[in-house]
């Protein structure tokens, strides 16, 4: 029979071995994993895709509505809103009183409209657009030509878009229908819009029919009775943006 001292020594030995085993296991758990080599990490690294951002040079030909007249500030006219929304490098050649044929010849009126002694018509403004090197051209006008004969207006519209395409063969060209105010549409305005549609599409451009968003809505017209107010410009801006997005020409 073993003595009590012998048993105690054996138990102490077992406990000692158990402590050693637990300590060894703990050290193994605490030992850090060997990281992959730097060369292996570099070889397996895939950089995230870089966002693409293209500066769009745009130019606007148009009348006083395209210029922003009627708004509390012309910069919040529909074209100005579009410029900021899309962060385009946009140059506005829109001038009050002008059209495909119409120009402003009286010096006083011209100074108010374009700060020149004479405001040229759309075709005469093409030369000024060359400095922009436009990727995108927006044309919105025609109401100021309403008193002209349909035949002379059609010739002027066709010549404008033909010259525009010849001058800027790679640019995307967009034209809207001729916009009016809240009053009854004058005879001939729809004919002008139809000619615009035919002419712009014949040179590979796109036609945006915005309807007549101010028609019968005097609350969207400024006190002058002719131009959209801030709300009216906001509505036209929304219509333009929707059509540009549908055509794949606008972000968002």
DSSP 23-91: HHHHHHHHSPP-PPPHHHHHHH--PPPPPP--PPEEEEEE-HHHHTTTSSSGGGSHHHHHHHHHT-EEE
User: What is residue 115's predicted lDDT score, i.e. its pLDDT?
Assistant: 83
- Residue 20 lies inside a defined structural domain of this protein: no
Asked if residue 1 is part of any domain, the answer here is: no
- How many C-beta atoms lie closer than 10 Å to residue 233's C-beta? 26
The CATH code of the domain that includes 61 is 3.40.50.1110
Q: What mean pLDDT do residues 209-232 have?
A: 98
What local confidence, expressed as pLDDT, does residue 109 receive? 86
The DSSP bridge partners found for residue 91 are: 59
pLDDT digits (tens, 9 = 90+) for 105-116: 888 888 988 888
How many domains does one find in the chain?
1
- For residue 26, tell me if it sits in a domain: no
Determine the structural domain holding residue 218 and report its residue range. 57-246
pLDDT value, residue 44: 61
Residue 235 lies in a domain: yes
In the chain, pLDDT over 70 holds for what percent of residues? 79
> Domain for residue 197, yes or no?
yes
């Amino acid at each position: 029979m073993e003595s009590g001292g012998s048993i105690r020594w054996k138990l102490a030995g077992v406990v000692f071995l158990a402590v050693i085993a637990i300590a060894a296991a703990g050290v193994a758990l605490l030992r850090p994993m060997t990281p992959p080599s730097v060369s292996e990490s570099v070889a397996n690294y895939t950089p995230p895709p870089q966002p693409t951002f293209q500066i769009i040079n745009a130019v606007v030909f148009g009348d006083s509505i395209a210029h922003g007249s009627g708004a509390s500030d012309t910069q919040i006219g529909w074209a100005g809103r579009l410029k900021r929304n899309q962060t385009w490098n946009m140059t506005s050649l829109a001038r009050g009183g002008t059209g495909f044929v119409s120009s402003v010849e009286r010096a006083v009126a011209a100074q108010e409209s374009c700060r020149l002694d004479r405001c040229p018509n759309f075709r005469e403004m093409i030369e000024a657009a060359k400095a922009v090197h436009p990727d995108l051209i927006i044309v919105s006008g025609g109401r100021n030509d309403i008193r002209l004969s349909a035949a002379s207006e059609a010739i002027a519209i066709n010549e404008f878009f033909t010259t525009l395409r010849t001058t800027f063969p790679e640019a995307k060209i967009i034209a809207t229908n001729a916009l009016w105010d809240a009053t009854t549409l004058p005879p001939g305005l729809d004919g002008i819009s139809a000619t615009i549609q035919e002419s712009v599409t014949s040179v590979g451009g796109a036609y945006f029919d915005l309807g007549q968003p101010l028609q019968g809505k005097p609350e969207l017209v400024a006190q002058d009775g002719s131009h959209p107010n801030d709300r009216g410009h906001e509505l036209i801006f929304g219509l333009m943006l929707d059509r540009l997005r549908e055509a794949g020409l606008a972000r968002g």
